[in-house]
Amino acid sequence: TVQKKLLTRIPGAQYGGRHSCTMLPGGGIGPELMTYVRDIFQYAGCPIDFEVIDIDPTSAGNDDLDYAIMSIKRNGVALKGNIETKSEDIDATSRNVALRNELDLFVNVIHTRSFEGVPSRHKDIDIVLIRQNTDGEYAMLEHESVRGIVESMKVVTEENASRVARYAFDYARRNNRKRVTTVHKANIMKLSDGLFLEVANKLSKEYPEIEHNNMIIDNTCMQLVSNPKQFDVMNMTNLYGTIVSNVICGLIGGAGLLSGRNYGDHYAIFEPGTRNTGTAIAGKNIANPIAMLNASVDMLNHLGHREHAKVISQAIHQTLVVDRIHTPDIGGNHSSTDIIENILRILSKKRVHWNHD
Ligand code: ATP
């Protein structure tokens, strides 16, 4: 019926058709990038109200972080820059890691695609990197057992290895992908990476239409720079994930382009894929805003605001590929605000509202 059709088109809403979302600008270029997102959302009429939370990087306590976590639990989603930890306290842990752990955001997804017209080492890359996001080498369990000897724990659990592998195979199935490659170092870390690989091997049997292979992390890095087109969907532990995602982002044009998505069973956080702070380029109007804008589009899609996501995404694409307004990190000489102004110009011709066809 017409009513049913309408209902499926209306995004699940919180208040009067609008969504309330947490915004964590973080340090470095985070705040300026968030200003751009807000300008664009306002211009496109996105039904989003941001709850902005600044986390003081120098504070020893965790009050700001607790407040941020409470806000995300209430809103379900957040858009995020990179939060710095500047406390002198040696026990101060990364707030970014703490946030992911507290919200149990067990998987990080980065869809790495080449952008036409952006200078890069390889063309036509299309790799979906799926990374375990909460344990592994990021367990933050380090201690000095005796003076001069430090131990650091890498934790692999069957449950989390299984959740991330399941996500990778389901993703491949849903998106018509052909192959999942599990990346590991099980020849050396026989128990931890061994378990990660074993779990993926076992699960792969439930997905007979998807090819599953595995590759050792060092060879993966070499293959990525020499022959990246062999990769389709990749499944890996936390530290390998951050390294490999940076390698791939480097291959297609750097830190300023791709977004990353963090999911758990209940919450989601959207952010630039390589999670850089960009302290050195802050306030200079040269940071590439595309990665954060792509993260904001991911968030709109996640919330079901597909029309808004589509027009903003098309405006980003036109700016980058057709109009070729590029910041210095990808070889251009335009400023961040040149990009935003161009996007706003495009949007001014196509305002949308959620119930437009
Ligand atoms: P720090 O905390 O010291 O800033 P980091 O690990 O977060 O370090 P960065 O130095 O911020 O990493 O980023 C790595 C490189 O990527 C830097 O050369 C930075 O200028 C560049 N970079 C990161 N984000 C962007 C962006 N949006 N646009 C252009 N360059 C970027």
Nearest atom of ligand 1 to the alpha carbon of 288: 28
Nearest protein Cα to ligand 1, atom 12: 276
- pLDDT at position 140 is 81
Q: What was the pLDDT predicted at 236?
A: 97
- CA-nearest residue for atom 17, ligand 1, is 278
pLDDT in tens, 139-157: 888 899 999 999 999 999 9
The pLDDT of residue 163 is 97
Q: What does each of the 357 residues of the chain score in pLDDT, given as a tens digit?
A: 555 554 444 444 456 778 999 999 999 999 999 999 999 999 999 999 999 999 888 777 788 899 999 999 999 999 999 998 776 666 667 889 989 999 999 999 999 999 888 988 888 899 999 999 998 888 888 899 999 999 999 999 999 999 999 999 999 999 999 999 999 999 999 999 999 999 999 999 999 999 999 999 999 999 999 999 999 999 999 999 999 999 999 999 999 999 999 999 999 999 999 999 999 999 999 999 999 999 999 999 999 999 999 999 999 999 999 999 999 999 999 999 999 999 999 998 876 554 444
* pLDDT score, position 58: 78
Centre of ligand 1 to C-alpha 282, Å, is 9
* Residues contacting ligand 1 via CB (< 6 Å): 28-29, 82, 255-256, 276-281, 287-288, 291, 329
* pLDDT at residue 250, as a whole number: 92
Nearest residue CA, atom 26 of ligand 1? 256
Residue 2's pLDDT is: 52
Per-position DSSP letters for 318-357, written without gaps between them: IIIIIS----GGGT----HHHHHHHHHHHHHT----TT--
Ligand 1 centroid distance, CA of 146 (Å): 36
Distance of alpha carbon 290 from the chain centroid: 13
The pLDDT assigned to 12 comes to 46
Q: Which atom of ligand 1 is nearest to the CA of 329?
A: 29
| Farthest-apart Cα atoms in the chain, separation | 72
- As given in the structure block, the two tokens for residue 254 are 């750097």
Note the ipTM here: 0.93
- Full-model pTM: 0.92
Per-residue burial over 6-38, b if 16 or more Cβ lie within 10 Å, else e, is: eeeeebeebeeeebbbbbbbbbbbbebbbebbb
Closest atom of ligand 1 relative to the 279 alpha carbon: 4
Which H or E element spans position 267? Answer: none
* Ligand 1 pocket: which of 247, 276, 316 to mutate (most atoms within 8 A of CB): 276
Q: What pLDDT score does 351 carry?
A: 60
User: Which of ligand 1's atoms lies nearest the C-alpha of 291?
Assistant: 27
Ligand 1 atom 25: residue of nearest CA: 256
The angle that helices 306-317 and 30-44 make with each other, rounded to 10 degrees, is: 120
